[in-house]
Structure 1
Amino acid sequence: MVISESPVKYELDVKSDELKSMLQACYQCSSCTSACPVRRFSKFNPRKIIHNYIFDFQVTEDELTACLTCGLCLEVCPQKVDFPEFIRLSREQLGVDEDKFAHHNIFNIMQVFMNEMTDSGMKFDYEGEIDPESSIAYFPGCIDLYDKFLDLKETSFHQIGQSAINVINKTGIKPNLLSLKCCGHDAYWTGDMDAYDQVREYNTKVIKESGISTLVVSCAECYYSFEDLYDLDKVKVQHISQFIEERQDKLQFKEEATTLTYHDPCRLGRFMNEYDSPRNVLEATGASIKELSSNKQFTKCCGVSAWLRCDDASRAIMLRKLEEATQAVGEEGTLGVACSKCYAHLNCVLEDKKPQHNFKIKVKELGMIVDERSSSK
């Protein structure tokens, strides 16, 4: 199935020598296009985009915004041409129109609001033991905004943070609940560097002044941003799976066995090379993992990145992911995810008011699974 693309609005006609130099190693083998999850359901063609850019042919806004920047192309490229970074820098030079963002651009609007209208970070209301003086901090990310603006009746994003705090408490730790702004991942990857720089400066200041030694996050994009894009000196950034793996001896897990499958988030897996901790933690809970047909460094993206282009091609990618999970563990099985965005996008398809397929599989966030299957020793 090939889905038609939206009309071209303008051309990228200002070509950069810097960007061209990034692409010069490409010898047009088409490995990127063959691997691309968007290509499976549209005419999107990374090889063609590279060719057209180098030789000064047309490159369109549709092409620059359709890319998921998932990194699978870079994974399979024999020349290691960094196509995702080329897309990001192109967006930075050109800008992205508001109509290319999903959900009426509300999450970008909230990013602007955080930067321009507030002088404090997000506030959270969780049950559990919190210690503002603790050297170990937890940041839930933007999940409470998802509850407010995503029309999902059966999906709780607040529970991601609550489960994380529950599990952290079960290990004997009372975390500092940091009041930060959005990590800025989406602003960075859509090329809005002014917004990204503002939020990075604010968050860096708060984190360093807090005196913490460890920052724990549930979202794969937060983990990538704080660990790879920020300069936090000696502050250790951990994904919740890494934190739990280090302290799993403090937890008592249910003895009943279960089977599930697991989806590797792009930012946690390909971008940060973290494949083992989530699997080790899930197996520690007593779960037997049946791998998806595409897994680890070759995992296909969940279908949406930075809230861009949640369109028919995106939905087709999500449906394929759920089909793949169903094939792995059956209709009544569970698909574990380690990213708040993956959890959002896949549950959005499951709660579709006009479903294209009546899936029965459940999509659960990793921290929730651990919380459900553990207690303190």
Structure 2
Amino acid sequence: MIHNISSLDLKKLLDISIYCYTCNACSMVCPLNLVKDFSPRYFLSQLRLNGLKDMDSFLADNEDIYKCITCQQCMTECPMSKPGEGMNIVEIIRILREYSFENKLNAKELQQHCTHQSMMQLNSTLHSQSASVINRIDYIRSDPSLKFTDTGEIGLFLGCFQFMEDLFEIPNREFTDIARGAIKLLNQNDIVPVILETKCCGHDLYWMGDTNNTKRLAEFNVQKFKDAGVKTIITECAEGYYMWKYVYPKLVIECDFKVIHFSEYIIQSELLKKMFMHPLKMKVTYHDPCRLGRLSNIFEPPRQILSILPGITYLEMKHNRTTSLCCGVSAFLDCNAEKKVFRELRIQEAMDIGADYIVTTCPKCIVHYNCYLKEVSTNIQNSQNPNDQDSRPLPKLIDLSTFLAKYFMLI
């Protein structure tokens, strides 16, 4: 079944936009508005002015729908936003992108906003359109210390870690160690998870408007795990969690898995009680990814885990939970100098509290914060006047499962 957005969908979208009474709360907290790039309130007013009749002309060559980073910061302050009803700017943006994509209204603008030569979007599209293109798990099979199976009730969705590691030329197995760490930790809790060769979760395609191909990916992944007898899906990636928990059930009939994030599983298990914990001394903070935090309302499990580890001093950055700063790039769209400001602000917050590590659960946050840190480190090394540089040590970015696996000396 091919999904096509209809005039009824657009009518619903306009009905949602009517909830806005231009109080400007959204624009006051919108990260893009800080760099004078995008105003949610102005965008909504223009949308309502054009209406259904002039929707195509409004969207044609309109770059604003791709500038929005869909971080949902605006909805934390909107007085007309309620769970399941009321204003939802992020969903309005997504529906407009879908309509634009299906009607090829601004294909050129979309292409210009895709980052890394559109490789992530191309990878997802190839996955959706070719039965033979899947995420191989050879890097898991080649490690004899990892215990996993191809049938069972608990599945671990690994997503595109291997592809991302190859694409960004990560030298120290940063992304594949996320998978290894998660499996090792589950094994320590007597869980042998189902690991399958699956396709991309479709997050980036979904948020750029390609819902048809997202649906194909969802159908493949859901059927794979159903055939394996899986009842519970554990995901480590924030975006994978969001897709399995909230999007897949809308796109695939009888997608009835219990979906839990890796941090939720760990904090509810006996793992932290029975494992050897050595007394390290380090300061750690946690960065809330948009998809896991504001869009999925999972804030506390990662913090609870980090707060009870001996030797770890857990610190909170100024902006946390619902006010957490976005890394600035969603669905690998629109990574530019203006978005780098967001990363600079976040790293400065971590430095202000003296954090040695910033722990997160989003591969994109790891990519973009590490990109910024690498640039800063290079500038410091090449500086002719070291006194002009901030003398405080830079924090390290690390995924939650990798951090825990290294803490327990499993990898």
Preserved contact between residue 152 and residue 230 of structure 2 (Cα < 8 Å)? yes
Listed one character per residue, the Cα deviations across residues 146-194 of structure 1 (whole Å, up to 9, x for unaligned) are: 1111144457211111111121122222221122111111111111011
Is the 2:148–2:194 Cα contact (8 Å) retained in structure 1?
A: yes
Instruction: Pick one of 332, 341, 347 that aligns with 1:322.
Output: 347
- Partner SS for 1:259: strand
Give the TM-score normalised by the residue count of structure 2.
0.82
Distance 1:62 1:46 in 2: 13
How far apart are the structure 2 equivalents of 1:28 and 1:98?
31
For the pair 1:17 / 2:11, whether they are aligned, the reply is: yes
1:86 pairs, out of 80, 88, 92, with 92
Match of 1:10 in 2: none
Q: Give 1:283 shift.
A: 1.8
Change (3 A) 1:51 1:155: farther
The CA deviation string for residues 92-127 of structure 1, in whole angstroms up to 9 with x for no partner, is 111252221000001111111112223463111222
The 1:295/1:224 distance shift into structure 2, 3 A limit, reads same
Q: Relative to structure 1, is the Cα distance of residues 147 and 222 closer, same or farther in structure 2, using a 3 angstrom cutoff?
A: same
For 1:106, give the aligned amino acid.
Answer: M
Bigger proportion of residues as helix: 2
Q: Deviations over 1:274-330 (max 9, x none)?
A: 111111111232322211111011112111100000111221111111111111225
Contact 1:170 1:375 in 2 (8 A): no
Q: Does 1:143 align with 2:161?
A: yes
Unaligned residue ranges in structure 2 (runs of 5+): 1-8, 52-57, 82-86, 102-106, 381-388
Matches within 5 A, 1:24-63: 24-56=18-50, 61-63=62-64
Query: Which AA in structure 1 matches 2:218?
Result: R
1:105 aligns with 2:118: yes
TM superposition shift of 1:56: 2.1
Equivalence for 2:368: 345
**Could you tell me how far apart the structure 2 residues matched to 1:40 and 1:155 are?**
35
Give the structure 1 partner of residue 315 of structure 2.
Answer: 290
Q: Deviations over 1:21-59 (max 9, x none)?
A: 111111111111111112212331111111111112956
Q: 2:6: which partner in 1?
A: none
1:285–1:373 contact (8 Å) kept in structure 2:
no
Q: Is 1:252–1:375's contact at 8 Å kept on the other side of the alignment?
A: no
| Aligned residue identity for 2:240 | C
Deviates more, 1:284-293 or 1:113-122: 113-122
Change (3 A) 1:301 1:23: same
AA aligned to 2:42 is K
Tell whether the 8 Å contact from 2:129 to 2:213 is kept in structure 1 after alignment.
no
| Alignment partners' CA distance in 2, 1:313 and 1:144 | 29
SS in structure 2 of the partner of residue 195 of structure 1: helix
* Distance (whole Å) between structure 2 residues aligned to residue 154 and residue 308 of structure 1: 26
Asked if residue 129 in structure 1 is aligned to residue 142 in structure 2, the reply is: no
Structure 1 position 260, deviation (Å): 0.9
Deviates more, 1:362-371 or 1:126-135: 126-135
Aligned to 2:65: 64
TM-score (norm 1): 0.89
Instruction: Say which SS state the counterpart of residue 31 (structure 2) adopts.
Output: coil
Aligned positions of 1:173-184 closer than 5 A: 173-184=191-202
8 Å CA contact retained: 1:285, 1:370: no
State the distance in 1 between where 2:338 and 2:169 align.
Answer: 21
SS at 1:351 equivalent:
helix
The equivalent position to 2:333 in structure 1, one of 308, 313, 333, is 308
Asked whether the equivalents of residues 66 and 309 of structure 1 are also in contact (C-alpha less than 8 Å), the reply is yes
> Contact (CA 8 Å) 1:154, 1:351: kept in 2 or not?
no
Tell me whether 1:208 sits opposite 2:233 in the alignment: no
Q: Distance in 2 between matches of 1:135 and 1:351?
A: 41
Amino acid at match of 1:137: G
User: How far is the alpha carbon of 1:261 from its aligned partner?
Assistant: 0.9
Bigger Cα Rg: 2
Distance of 1:39 and 1:134 partners within structure 2: 48
Whole-angstrom distance in 1 between the partners of 2:409 and 2:346: 31
- Secondary structure of residue in 1 paired with 2:41: helix
Where structure 1 has 5 or more consecutive residues not aligned to the other structure, the ranges are: 1-14
CA distance in 2, matches of 1:134, 1:253: 30
Residue of 239, 242, 245 corresponding to 1:224: 242
Shifted more, 257-266 versus 280-289: the winner is 280-289
